[in-house]
Structure 1
Amino acid sequence: MNILFSMHGEAGHHLGTFRLARALASRGHRVTYLGLPRVRQLVEAQGFAFIAFAEDLFTTSGAAQQSPAAAAALFRRYTTAIVDGRLDACLRSARPDLLLCDAFLWYVALRAQRLGLPTIGISTSLFLFDNPRIPPAVTSIRPGRGVLSALRISLAWKMMHLRHLVTKRLASRLVGAYRAPLRMHHLTDTFAWVARQSGVRLRRHVTHRLDEIGPHLILPELVLCPAAFQLPGPRPAERRHCGDFIDLQRQEPPLPFDPSGRTIIFCSLGTSAAAYRQARRFFAAVAEASALAPEWFFVLHISDPALIGALASSANLLVVPWISQLTLLRHAAVMVHHGGLNSIMECVHREVPMVILPCARDQPGNAVRAAHHQLALTADVRSITGDRLRRLIGEAMGDAALKRGLRRLKDQIEQERGLEQALAFIEGFTAGFTAGGNSDRP
């Protein structure tokens, strides 16, 4: 069977899929990725074929695309390429029997529906829809018991939808906000336009819902997260959790230093540090904490070239633009990070206590879940100082409850056997199509 993955153009959205892709390949399926040119190297380094979409639109320098006029022109060309047949040609070129499509890329799934291509959604976050017991992941609300908690959660969902109307729909129409290839998953109006161009009739709560970032197609869906990490409460029937999606075969270069004999504190804001207003404060606090705790060795990952030049390495602080995270976590005593799901799950796998300072997106909700399951200590990144961070790291390092929580969740993940269930679902989903002799699907 030919299986095509299409994931959002950030590295974090791809990293979680590689274990599933390898497992599918080991069972004899041919796996190909379709995406923006910026992730080609990442995908091909893992040994998978890659098809670039709209490659001709991303040949100009990044600097030239910073002006509003250039950004608006790029968005128009990109959305045109989605509906004028170029995306269809990319989809057909893999001759897929099945598309596994990131929930952010509803436009790829809409075009796949136009082509009659069987599609399963993939979610790399725990974003939900209106839920009576689980608050939005974009908030730091910790659910409790009783009527007051239910009312608070209900109000949070209503306020979230109101903010979405003002900050996304109206802002998009009035000032062009979110009109960029990597941010268009927020755009309800563009979603409706692509659906019309694709001949798909939309019906809210039947074909799609509005979740915490915008429109979300209702498809059979795999969630790259164990069910045990979610908060207690009802979940959409179409969602299946993949358990521990950590790719232990991920190709990583060796560490740039000898970790032996060191108490390593690993600090990172992931691969999108430039997107966070609090990044400079976070990095400055890490540098200050390293000066206050010379007995520890800090590894600070700064993915943004504009930020990394502001800090220099020292005797117990190594500043790097990239690091082999899975390898480093073998040696880390604590990880300080933003609350990305990849980082949380990799820490659980290595049983590394965490200090989480959420910045944006689903990170506040991820931090709530990590605290609920006793995996991490959390704090507000907007007020973090070096001294406060040093004390949090010391507490996390010596907290026996965190070590028990990490072991408990790791055991629950193993019991879920999520990867095996995901493989069985994928192969069962396409059985009717392949049995019908559709291997020549366009």
Structure 2
Amino acid sequence: MTNRAHIAMFSIAAHGHVNPSLEVIRELVARGHRVTYAIPPAFAEKAAATGAEPKLWNSTLPGPDADPEAWGSTLLDNVEPFLDDAIQALPQLAEAYRGDEPDLVLHDIAAYPARVLAHRWGVPAISLSPCLVAWEGYEEEVAEPMWEEPKKTERGRAYYARFQGWLEENGITEHPDRFAGRPARSLVLIPKVFQPHADRVDETVYSFVGACQGDRDAEGTWQRPADAEKVVLVSLGSAFTKQPDFYRRCLRAFGDLPGWHVVLQVGRHVDRTDLGDVPANVEVHSWVPQLAVLRQADLFVTHAGAGGSQEGLATATPMIAVPQAADQFGNADMLQELGVARHLPMEEATAEELRATALRLVDDPEVARRLKEIRAGMAEEGGTRRAADLIEAELAASRRDRPREA
């Protein structure tokens, strides 16, 4: 076993970025390592529950309960807040770790200061990616077309100049695109089957370890009603939940289906009164223990975030994917290509189409077969234990290359 080390994890205050790392951190603590977790206060309790020591810093990003409109609507609206936050967070984090520098840095894909600090400290950094990663050809096929127009604008040029200047101030000569999208080492916390163009991913850099979900009992439990013939969970995740009209469509789709029970998660920006009449077979919550519900559900209506998508795969639950933003559109397409879901764009997700799609999916033996096959493959990827093994291997290699004084 690798000797006890100080491992520092860095993330942002967002459920989809924090949750995938928690079981890996818990496993590293169980193996005897000292793990610190640099995180804004909103997630300090979650980090501490793993046995890690929270290192708190203040973020300028919209919080986990912020109105989705706080993120803006354009590509630059979406990315500028992360750079702003990284620049103001770096001195906070440098001070928090002064005299307590780690042996290895783990970081979420959005935790830019982590890579800067690892460079400053001369220690290895490993990305923990909660979503798809770049393949050979990604830049030409996806990134360059996406950025072509924004880069022509004064605002886009200013963004890149500021990013490049910040990196150079910290001794990093990489282009911002490569810095943000091409880590030296990455553990990918999604099933390989969920990765687009997996055959073109460099597996000397990226190791697919699959879902690291744990039992999540601390999030609460849920019991399927005894008279429920079918259970459908409707959840658009934690960020893009301000969709009262869509929830009303779901009530019309599933509210009077004989034998069906509906679990509807609406987030913090929609009130039960916004939904009108709620049928007796529907339970409405601002939040639910999603994995506990999915383990007993027959259908998942999801926004196709990376975390929710792989929870659907891990529990072999057919899905209707109604993406809202970012990588969710590609995820929805991927789920449909895998034969386990139907991608319904929001404008096409009428009550009638939701109902018809649901009835087809839950009774399709080929969908059930594909889900069972994928779940079996995920179980072989190693998950939490393999992730911890790979992290310890990086530690051991680093110590061979850079002997430390006792």
Query: Which residue of structure 2 lines up, in the alignment, with residue 164 of structure 1?
Result: 147
Contact 2:268–2:286 (CA under 8 A) maintained in structure 1: yes
2: CA distance, partners of 1:168 / 1:102: 25
Q: CA deviation at 1:198?
A: 0.9
1: CA distance, partners of 2:264 / 2:44: 26
Q: CA deviation at 1:269?
A: 0.4
Matched, 1:374 2:380: no
Aligned residue runs from structure 1 range 244-259, under 5 A: 244-255=211-222, 259=225
Matched, 1:345 2:310: yes
TM value normalised by structure 2: 0.83
Q: 2:227 aligns with which of 247, 261, 279?
A: 261
Distance 1:189 1:216, change over 3 A: farther
Q: Secondary structure at the match of 1:259?
A: coil
2: CA distance, partners of 1:384 / 1:311: 17
Amino acid at match of 2:93: L
Q: CA deviation at 1:281?
A: 4.0
Query: Which residue of structure 2 lines up, in the alignment, with residue 53 of structure 1?
Result: 57
Contact 1:97–1:438 (CA under 8 A) maintained in structure 2: no
2: CA distance, partners of 1:128 / 1:217: 7
Q: CA RMSD in A?
A: 3.4
CA shift digits 1:146-189 (9 cap, x unpaired): xxxxxxxx6x53xx524324347837459x9xxxxxxxxxx544
Unaligned residue ranges in structure 2 (runs of 5+): 73-80
1: CA distance, partners of 2:247 / 2:66: 25
Q: Secondary structure at the match of 1:88?
A: helix
CA shift digits 1:301-327 (9 cap, x unpaired): 112324665225431121111101111
Contact 2:26–2:50 (CA under 8 A) maintained in structure 1: no
Distance 1:387 1:45, change over 3 A: farther
Distance 1:347 1:57, change over 3 A: closer
Contact 2:233–2:262 (CA under 8 A) maintained in structure 1: yes
Amino acid at match of 1:164: W
Query: Which residue of structure 1 lines up, in the alignment, with residue 42 of structure 2?
Result: 38
The percent identity for this pair of structures is 23
Query: Which residue of structure 2 lines up, in the alignment, with residue 112 of structure 1?
Result: 118
Matched, 1:201 2:173: yes
Query: Which residue of structure 2 lines up, in the alignment, with residue 143 of structure 1?
Result: none
Q: CA deviation at 1:203?
A: 5.0
Aligned residue runs from structure 1 range 385-400, under 5 A: 385-400=350-365
Contact 1:5–1:101 (CA under 8 A) maintained in structure 2: yes
TM value normalised by structure 1: 0.77
Q: Secondary structure at the match of 1:332?
A: coil
Q: CA deviation at 1:434?
A: 4.2
Contact 1:226–1:241 (CA under 8 A) maintained in structure 2: yes
Q: CA deviation at 1:66?
A: 7.2
Distance 1:304 1:290, change over 3 A: same
Distance 1:304 1:241, change over 3 A: same
Contact 1:46–1:250 (CA under 8 A) maintained in structure 2: no
Q: CA deviation at 1:235?
A: 0.7
229-238 or 264-273, which deviates more: 229-238
Query: Which residue of structure 1 lines up, in the alignment, with residue 88 of structure 2?
Result: 81
Q: 1:414 aligns with which of 379, 387, 398?
A: 379
1: CA distance, partners of 2:360 / 2:398: 54
Aligned length, in residue pairs: 387
345-354 or 428-437, which deviates more: 428-437
Q: Secondary structure at the match of 2:132?
A: coil
Unaligned residue ranges in structure 1 (runs of 5+): 69-73, 137-153, 177-186
Q: 1:302 aligns with which of 249, 266, 272?
A: 266
Amino acid at match of 2:102: P
Query: Which residue of structure 2 lines up, in the alignment, with residue 192 of structure 1?
Result: 164
Amino acid at match of 2:219: E
Distance 1:244 1:310, change over 3 A: same
Q: CA deviation at 1:106?
A: 2.2
Query: Which residue of structure 2 lines up, in the alignment, with residue 122 of structure 1?
Result: 128
Query: Which residue of structure 1 lines up, in the alignment, with residue 291 of structure 2?
Result: 326
